[in-house]
Every structure is written in C-alpha cells, then in structure tokens.
Amino acid sequence: MALTRIILWLGNSFVMCALLMAVTAALSFLMLDITSATRLSAVTLGIGVIGIILIATTHNTPAQETTADALLFLLLFWIIMPVLMAVPYLTLGAVPDFTSAYFEAVSAFTTTGASALNADELPKALLLWRSLIQWFGGVCVATFAVVILAALNLSGTGVHRSMLFTLDKDELFKRLISIGKIVAGIYACLVVLCWLALIITGTDFFSALCLALSGVSTGGLMPQSGGISHYVGRIGAFCLAIFTILGAMNISILWDFIRLRKWRNFLVLFSSPESRGFFVLSAVLFLLGLFMVGPAQGYTLFIESLFFASTAGFDYDIIGLEMVPSVVLIAIALIGGSALSTAGGIKIIRLLLLFRHLFTDLGRLTHPSRLIPVSFKGQQIPDRAFLSVWMYFFGYTLFFGLAVLALGATGLVFQDAVVTGAASIANMGPLLDATLPESGVSYADFTNPQKIMSALFMLIGRVEVLAVLILFTPSFWQR
C-alpha cells in the first residue's frame, strides 16, 4: 500500500479542518466572544502545523494509488477527523471527557444529529462549530460517494454514476479536490440561499446560519433547544424543509441542472424515481400523522414529514410525528434519502432496484422459459449487477443487528437498543426522541460505552457498510 500517499491526503485533511476552525474563530471574534476565539485560534494553529508537516514530508510521493489505498484512506479519514473536531468541545469546556467530545464530533461530522448537550447552554462559537462540521461532513459524504465509492462501484450497481463524474481508478486521489470543490460550491450556494430565506422570513442572523448549515447537510442539530417553531416562522420552516430536500437529493442531478442550465433538468430533480420515492415516504408519514393526531396539527405534520424523510429530523413543534408508531419511523429512517447525497440510510434507489428485481423474478416463476430483462430508468440491468445491491442490503442488516446487540450489551433495554442502533447506522439521531421511548432515555443519559458503540455505528453507516466488510477479506491486505 502507498502509505505515504495516504499520509499526504490525511495532511490535507488536517489543513482543511484547521481552515474550518479558523473560520469559526474569526466569526467568534466578530461576535465578541474573545475567549472562545482565542482558544480556537490556538487549536487551529496546532492542527494546521501538523497538517503542513505531514504534507511537506510526503509531497513528492508518486501519484499512484490502488483500490485498497483509496478505501483505507476513506476509513482513516472518518475515524481521525472526528478526533480533531472533538478538540473544540474540550477546549471550550462543553463536555467532561474525550469520549463525550468524540461522540459529539462524530454525530455532527456524520450528519447524524445526536447530541447529549443542551444547545441553550452552549457558547455560540461551539454552536457554529458543530454546524460547520455538519456542512463539511455532508460535503465529504457526497464527494467520497462520487469519487471513491461510486467510481469503484461499491455503493450499488453503477446506475447512480453521472457522466460528469466518470473517473479512472488511477485518478481517485487527484480528483478528490476538484470534485470536492464542485460539491462544496453546490452546498455552499444552497446554504447561502437557505440562510437568506430564513432571514427574510424573520429568523435571527445566527440561528438562520446554523439552521442553513445543518439543514442542507441533513444534520439535524439545532442552535436552540425545543421545536424550531419557537424561533422560525411558518414560511421560514417551509423554506428550510425545501433545502433539506435538496440536500437529500442526488448531487449528480443537482450538478447536471446547474451545469447544463436547462429547466428540463430542474424537473428531473422532483420527477426522478428517487424523488418520487422520497415524496411517497413523506406522504405516508403525513397521512399516518393525520390519522393519529387529527388535522389540527396538519402543518406541523407536513413540515416534520419533509424533515424526517430527508433524514434531517428537525422537530418543528411539540405534537407531531412523535404520535406515529415507532416501527414506521424506524423503517423510514433506515430507508434514508437519495444516493450520492448527504442523507443516510440504505438509500431509496437500492430498494427500488431490489423491488424491480423481485417483481421480475416473480414473473420468471410463472414463465420459466421466458427471458425477462430487468429495466430501470430506460436501462437494461444484467442480473449480476444486482449482486452488490443484495450484498449491501445483507451487510446493512448485519450491522444493524450487531448495533442492537452491542448497545444492548452496554445496558440499554431492547427497545432503546433497536431505536439507537437504527438512529446510529442510518445517521438520523433525532429518531430516538421522535419515538418517545417508554424508559425516558435520551442521549444525555448515555454512558461512555453506549456513546462509543453509537459513534462506531454512526461511522459504519457513513462509510458504507461494504467498505467496512472489505476490511475483513484477506485480498484487501494483499499487495
């Protein structure tokens, strides 16, 4: 393996983390939080120096990497970056120990949105920091999905690939920055538009910024405790829901629309199979909510259905989707959003493909000698192409079961272990509060072992389970 090449890109990652901290420190100065800004500046300097040293000692490394190099970098990146991102939680005195800080950092960076902290008691610098790393995590999720996972065909059958993102295997590391700039530019534009929409509709400057960063990344962490109806108007909440939907959409479709500037591509945003699946899930939640609580909470249910289906999971008001049966909420959280997006879960596209394959196989049972090709989005997909989808579904189910066992072993009762396991691996932290556990447990009640297990499965859900399973194959470690 080209370890020096991996170290070089980890050094670049350190520098990017330092730049995010520098932005947070600068904004803290502007908000006159001098103490937080000074501490963040010191941390920024230390991490930046380490990153520069790693780059300087490996910059002459030949630009050659294998599939194993790319996957190993992917896994190390998701493990190490939260370590750096946990430092501000400690330096600003928000958490008692490193385990709690790492849990918070993993939750924000993986856009899970689980937190044991009370937002009302946190300094604005830390609220801004965790909002920024949610946005950065969303950028990284989409970038890695395009550059590494989809390019290596590890996230599905390959039907998600955009012609604009077609890459050669020996270009993986070289294209991380170029593709990352495109993805970051798209999500930055969405954040600015969402921020302006929230400000125009009456939300204060700071809360609008934090919600825009969290909403576009489908992160779910909020700048204030309680429902967002307390500080965001109805029109503002609707605007935020629209941008969470865009964040949960396939980034390649967004890029096609921006690059080609054709309104036909805009319609594709909302008419593609994944988008239709998203709206079906939202409608199911909305109708079940109406049945459970009545039409008086119709607007709350409508907004929360969009939030939930996008995996952002923002709580709009006191009475809403919490009344929907927990099993439905868990199932929809596990399904998730679109492929090549910031959303978590199995992804709608995979389930659509599996159902299409299932119906085709049922047709073959009635006509064994008949050749029935599987078609999707105008393409004929060979049976062997579904192998990776079935493997992913099996791997996801396996890790979900392991998450329930591991969390149960740390002391959670079975129902809480199931919900927490689903929330962790689907990267949808608000699921725990939405299911109203009878035990009354919340993330603030978690012990350190429970936080470690939850954070572990957040990371597994984010790096795609097939990438983790490959680690256990002997061929991965062979040159």
pLDDT score at 159: 41
Residue 318, helix vs strand vs coil: coil
Cα separation, 90 vs 101, whole angstroms: 7
- Specify the long-range contacts of residues 198-207, CB closer than 8 Å, at least 24 apart: 198/232, 198/236, 198/239, 198/240, 201/232, 201/233, 201/235, 201/236, 201/239, 202/232, 202/233, 202/236, 203/231, 203/232, 203/233, 203/236, 204/231, 206/31, 206/124, 206/127, 206/128, 207/231, 207/232
Give the pLDDT confidence of 201-253 residue by residue, as tens digits: 999 999 999 999 999 999 999 999 989 999 999 999 999 999 999 999 888 88
Residue among 84, 136, 94, 137 nearest 115 (CA): 94
Give the pLDDT confidence of 75-134 residue by residue, as tens digits: 899 999 999 999 999 999 999 999 999 999 999 999 999 999 999 999 999 999 999 999
Cα separation, 203 vs 199, whole angstroms: 5
Residue among 195, 395, 355 nearest 273 (CA): 355
Which stretches of the chain drop beneath a pLDDT of 70?
1, 62-65, 148-173, 262-266, 268, 361-385, 475-479
Residue among 338, 240, 248, 335 nearest 285 (CA): 335
Cα separation, 298 vs 288, whole angstroms: 11
Give the pLDDT confidence of 123-148 residue by residue, as tens digits: 999 999 999 999 999 999 988 887 76
Question: Which strand (E) or helix (H) includes residue 381?
Answer: strand 379-381
